[in-house]
Structure 1
Amino acid sequence: MYKYYGIAILVIILDQLSKWSIVENMKYGESISLIDPYFGLYSHRNRGAAWGMLQGQFWLFALVTIIVILGIIYYYHKEGKGKPLFQVSLMLLLGGAIGNFIDRVFRGEVVDFVHVIIPVINYDFPIFNIADAALTFGVIMLILYIIFEGKIEKKKVK
């Protein structure tokens, strides 16, 4: 059961190394196009939550993050045994939460750098980082788990 913690550790390491690389090698506001104009790196900082909401609310984020981390660990050990999709989703959430929490504690802001434009609708997606991506995939996987678990339980009852 503890082997899944490696996923969270990997997310944290990749997240922090990528952020360190951006801070060390790019000036704030600098942009590097990788697939022009749809995908690139953009050195950005965020003192708030998603899309810059609640700017400068460190203590709120700290409290919420600590509660979330404790909740993830609790549910992982209480409900996770024998449920790999559930375990992976929780570890992605854990790694993402800790990755951004490290930024808030040590930098006072979160380093974001992935810039994507969705071409079909010409939407300039908010800049994000690896921790944000892990959180997003973790939520998607958790939703899928909840949907499929319900279907499996219904089949067991019949």
Structure 2
Amino acid sequence: MEVLISLLMVVILDQGTKYLIIENLRLHQSIPIIEDIFHLTYIRNQGAAFGILQGRLTFLIVVTMLAIILLALFYNELPIDNRFSRIILGLGIGGALGNLIDRVRLGYVVDFFDFRVWPVFNVADIAIVVTVAIFSYWLLVIEGK
């Protein structure tokens, strides 16, 4: 149940914020929130993280679906009493689904968080990075002992 709740929260927040960006900003328009530090900038990413694999839509859709399937299979490996891991797993699946929805529906991913020193990203990307960071720590530090 924790996986489903966190997954749905990420997808709803991700798709909702992307909808607001599409409806209220023009492509490449940038609104400073904190001048020269944080802006909302509407871009269309036709690639993966950091803009790699531009124009490889079918490949990215297939890889994302495989990642979601692998994460779903990983669910069975988690201890039943470890709610935190189940919540984090839901974040990762929700993030992957959020960007998959964009790729299938629009042919690109909507990105808008712009810190000027990092590639522009979105809510789904945050969920994916948090998931990878926590599970990497878990595997390398906790399980590695």
Matched, 1:149 2:129: no
Give the corresponding residue for 2:114.
115
Shift of 1:89: 2.4
Percent of aligned pairs sharing the same letter: 37
Q: Could you say if the C-alpha distance between residues 80 and 91 of structure 1 is closer, same or farther in structure 2, counting changes exceeding 3 Å? A: farther
TM-score (norm 2): 0.93
Give the corresponding residue for 1:138.
131
The 5 A counterparts of 1:25-44 are 25-44=24-43
Equivalenced residue count is: 144
Shift of 1:150: 3.6
Q: Could you say if the C-alpha distance between residues 66 and 80 of structure 1 is closer, same or farther in structure 2, counting changes exceeding 3 Å? A: farther
- Structure number, greater radius of gyration: 1
Shift of 1:80: 4.2
Shift of 1:92: 1.3
Q: Could you say if the C-alpha distance between residues 61 and 80 of structure 1 is closer, same or farther in structure 2, counting changes exceeding 3 Å? A: farther
Give me the whole-angstrom Cα distance separating, in 1, the residues matched to 2:143 and 2:81.
Answer: 12
Query: Structure 1 counterpart of 2:122, which letter?
Result: N
Query: Structure 1 counterpart of 2:50, which letter?
Result: W
TM-score (norm 1): 0.86
Give the corresponding residue for 1:7.
6
Task: Give the structure, 1 or 2, with the largest relative contact order (CA under 8 Å, sep 6 or more).
Answer: 2
Give the corresponding residue for 1:83.
82
Partner SS for 1:79: coil
Give me the whole-angstrom Cα distance separating, in 2, the residues matched to 1:40 and 1:133.
Answer: 16
Give me the whole-angstrom Cα distance separating, in 2, the residues matched to 1:80 and 1:90.
Answer: 12
Partner SS for 1:9: helix
Partner SS for 1:42: strand
Matched, 1:125 2:118: yes
Shift of 1:81: 2.0
Query: Is the Cα–Cα contact under 8 Å of residues 88 and 138 in structure 1 kept in the other structure?
Result: no
Structure 2, unaligned runs of 5 or more: none
